[in-house]
Structure 1
Amino acid sequence: MPKICWVTPAALADLVRTTAVHVLSTRGLDTTALPAAVTIERPRNPEHGDYATNLALQSAKRLGLSPRELAGWLAEALAETDAIAAAEVAGPGFLNLRLAADAQGDIVRAALQAGDDYGRGEALAGRSINLEFVSANPTGPIHLGGTRWAAVGDALGRILAAQGAQVTREYYFNDAGAQIDRFVRSLIAAAKGEPAPEDGYGGAYIADIAAEVLRREPSALSLPGAERHEAFRRIGVGLMFDEIKRSLHEFGTDFDVYFHENSLHTSGAVSRAVEQLKESGALYHADGAWWLRSTEYGDDKDRVVIKSDGQPAYIAGDIAYFQDKRGRGFDLCIYMLGADHHGYIGRLKAAAAAFGDDPDSVEVLIGQMVNLVKDGKPVRMSKRAGTVVTLEDLVDAVGVDAARYSMIRSSVDSSLDVDLDLFSKRSNENPVFYVQYAHARLASMARNAAELGIDLGDVADADLGLLTHDREGELIRTIGEFPAVVATAAELREPHRLARYLESLASAYHKWYDTCRALPQGDEPVTPLNIARLHLNNAARQVLANGLGLLGVTAPERM
Structure 2
Amino acid sequence: MTPEDLSALIASVLERLVAAGTITISGDLPAVRVERPRSREHGDWSTNAAMQLAKRAGMAPRQLAALLAPEIEKNAGIDSVEVAGPGFINIRLSAGAAGELAKTIVGAGVNYGRSDSGSGVTLDLEYVSANPTGPIHIGGARWAAVGDSLARILAATGSTVIREYYFNDHGTQIDRFSASLQARALGEELPEDGYGGSYIEDIANQVIADEVAAGRPDPRTLPREEGREVFRARGVKLMFAEIQRSLHEFGSDFDVFFHEQSLYDSGAVDEAIAALRERGVIFEADGATWVRTTAFGDDKDRVIIKKDGNYAYFAADIAYFRDKRRRADKAIYMLGADHHGYIGRMYAMAAAFGDKTGRGEGMEILIGQLVNLMRNGTPVRMSKRAGTVVTLEDLVDAVGVDAARYSLVRASVDSALDLDLDLIASHTNDNPVYYVQYAHARTVAVDRNATEHGVRREDAFEPALLEEADAALLSELARFPRVVNEAAELRAPHRVARYLEELAAAYHGWYGKARVTPRADEPVSDLHRTRLWVNDAARQVFANGLGLLGVSAPEHM
| TM-score relative to the length of structure 1 | 0.94
Does the 8 Å CA contact 1:157/1:167 hold for their aligned counterparts?
yes
Q: Is 1:226 the counterpart of 2:199 in the alignment?
A: no
Which residue is equivalent to 1:446?
447
Residue 425 of structure 1 aligns with an amino acid whose one-letter code is S
- Greater Cα offset, 248-257 or 372-381: 372-381
Deviations 1:438-477 (A, max 9, x none): 000001111112233433117xx611222222x2112101
Deviations 1:229-251 (A, max 9, x none): 11111111111111101110110
Which residue is equivalent to 1:498?
496
1:269–1:33: structure 2 CA closer, same or farther, 3 Å change rule?
Answer: closer
Segments of 5+ residues of structure 1 without an aligned counterpart are 1-6
- Match runs of 1:195-274 below 5 Å: 195-218=189-212, 219-274=218-273
Does the 8 Å CA contact 1:345/1:363 hold for their aligned counterparts?
no
- Greater Cα offset, 423-432 or 269-278: 269-278
Q: Distance in 2 between matches of 1:140 and 1:299?
A: 33
Deviation at 1:293, TM superposition (A): 2.1
Deviations 1:50-81 (A, max 9, x none): 22222333334554544334333333333332
Deviation at 1:517, TM superposition (A): 0.8
Q: Distance in 2 between matches of 1:348 and 1:503?
A: 37
Deviation at 1:31, TM superposition (A): 4.3
Q: Distance in 2 between matches of 1:387 and 1:403?
A: 20
1:450–1:204: structure 2 CA closer, same or farther, 3 Å change rule?
Answer: same
Choose the corresponding residue for 1:10, options 4, 16, 25: 4
Deviation at 1:134, TM superposition (A): 0.4
Deviation at 1:426, TM superposition (A): 0.5
Deviation at 1:428, TM superposition (A): 0.6
1:263–1:14: structure 2 CA closer, same or farther, 3 Å change rule?
Answer: same
Q: Distance in 2 between matches of 1:296 and 1:410?
A: 36
Deviation at 1:88, TM superposition (A): 1.8
Deviations 1:200-247 (A, max 9, x none): 010111111111112122411110122101111111111111110111
Does the 8 Å CA contact 1:35/1:58 hold for their aligned counterparts?
no
Deviation at 1:492, TM superposition (A): 1.1
Q: Distance in 2 between matches of 1:76 and 1:13?
A: 16
Deviations 1:496-537 (A, max 9, x none): 111111111111101000111111122532111001100000
Which residue is equivalent to 2:555?
557
Q: Distance in 1 between matches of 2:240 and 2:27?
A: 59
Deviations 1:8-35 (A, max 9, x none): 2122122223224445655633144885
Which residue is equivalent to 1:326?
325
- Match runs of 1:160-179 below 5 Å: 160-179=154-173
- Match runs of 1:309-348 below 5 Å: 309-327=308-326, 329-348=327-346
Which residue is equivalent to 1:89?
83
Q: Distance in 2 between matches of 1:273 and 1:19?
A: 52
- Match runs of 1:287-436 below 5 Å: 287-327=286-326, 329-359=327-357, 360-436=361-437
Which residue is equivalent to 2:215?
none
Which residue is equivalent to 1:129?
123
Deviation at 1:179, TM superposition (A): 0.5
Q: Distance in 2 between matches of 1:132 and 1:67?
A: 45
Q: Distance in 2 between matches of 1:529 and 1:33?
A: 48
Does the 8 Å CA contact 2:382/2:394 hold for their aligned counterparts?
no
Which residue is equivalent to 1:152?
146
Q: Distance in 2 between matches of 1:217 and 1:504?
A: 56
Q: Distance in 2 between matches of 1:442 and 1:277?
A: 58
Does the 8 Å CA contact 2:439/2:504 hold for their aligned counterparts?
yes
1:79–1:340: structure 2 CA closer, same or farther, 3 Å change rule?
Answer: same
Which residue is equivalent to 1:3?
none
User: What is the DSSP-based 3-state SS (H/G/I as helix, E as strand, rest coil) of the residue aligned with 2:508?
Assistant: helix
Choose the corresponding residue for 2:132, options 134, 138, 145: 138
Q: Distance in 1 between matches of 2:15 and 2:126?
A: 45
User: What is the DSSP-based 3-state SS (H/G/I as helix, E as strand, rest coil) of the residue aligned with 1:436?
Assistant: helix
Q: Is 1:77 the counterpart of 2:77 in the alignment?
A: no
Deviations 1:333-381 (A, max 9, x none): 1111111212333333333333344442111111111111111011235
Q: Distance in 2 between matches of 1:297 and 1:320?
A: 18
Aligned length: 549
1:298–1:447: structure 2 CA closer, same or farther, 3 Å change rule?
Answer: farther
Residue 289 of structure 2 aligns with an amino acid whose one-letter code is W
Q: Distance in 2 between matches of 1:284 and 1:253?
A: 42
Does the 8 Å CA contact 1:33/1:63 hold for their aligned counterparts?
no
Q: Distance in 2 between matches of 1:231 and 1:64?
A: 76
- Match runs of 1:521-536 below 5 Å: 521-522=519-520, 524-536=522-534
Residue 382 of structure 1 aligns with an amino acid whose one-letter code is S
Does the 8 Å CA contact 2:26/2:56 hold for their aligned counterparts?
no
Which residue is equivalent to 1:539?
537
Q: Distance in 2 between matches of 1:362 and 1:64?
A: 39
Does the 8 Å CA contact 2:128/2:140 hold for their aligned counterparts?
yes
- Greater Cα offset, 100-109 or 446-455: 446-455
Does the 8 Å CA contact 1:137/1:174 hold for their aligned counterparts?
yes
Q: Distance in 2 between matches of 1:515 and 1:412?
A: 37
Deviations 1:146-181 (A, max 9, x none): 111100000011111111111111111111110011
Which residue is equivalent to 1:105?
99
- Greater Cα offset, 527-536 or 214-223: 214-223
Deviation at 1:37, TM superposition (A): 2.3
Residue 497 of structure 2 aligns with an amino acid whose one-letter code is A
Segments of 5+ residues of structure 2 without an aligned counterpart are 213-217
Q: Distance in 1 between matches of 2:126 and 2:149?
A: 13
Does the 8 Å CA contact 2:455/2:517 hold for their aligned counterparts?
no
Does the 8 Å CA contact 2:208/2:219 hold for their aligned counterparts?
yes
- Greater Cα offset, 182-191 or 14-23: 14-23
Choose the corresponding residue for 1:19, options 13, 23, 29: 13
Q: Distance in 2 between matches of 1:27 and 1:257?
A: 55
Residue 533 of structure 1 aligns with an amino acid whose one-letter code is R
- Greater Cα offset, 519-528 or 221-230: 519-528
Residue 546 of structure 2 aligns with an amino acid whose one-letter code is L
User: What is the DSSP-based 3-state SS (H/G/I as helix, E as strand, rest coil) of the residue aligned with 1:402?
Assistant: helix
Does the 8 Å CA contact 1:185/1:200 hold for their aligned counterparts?
yes
- Greater Cα offset, 14-23 or 166-175: 14-23
1:17–1:126: structure 2 CA closer, same or farther, 3 Å change rule?
Answer: closer
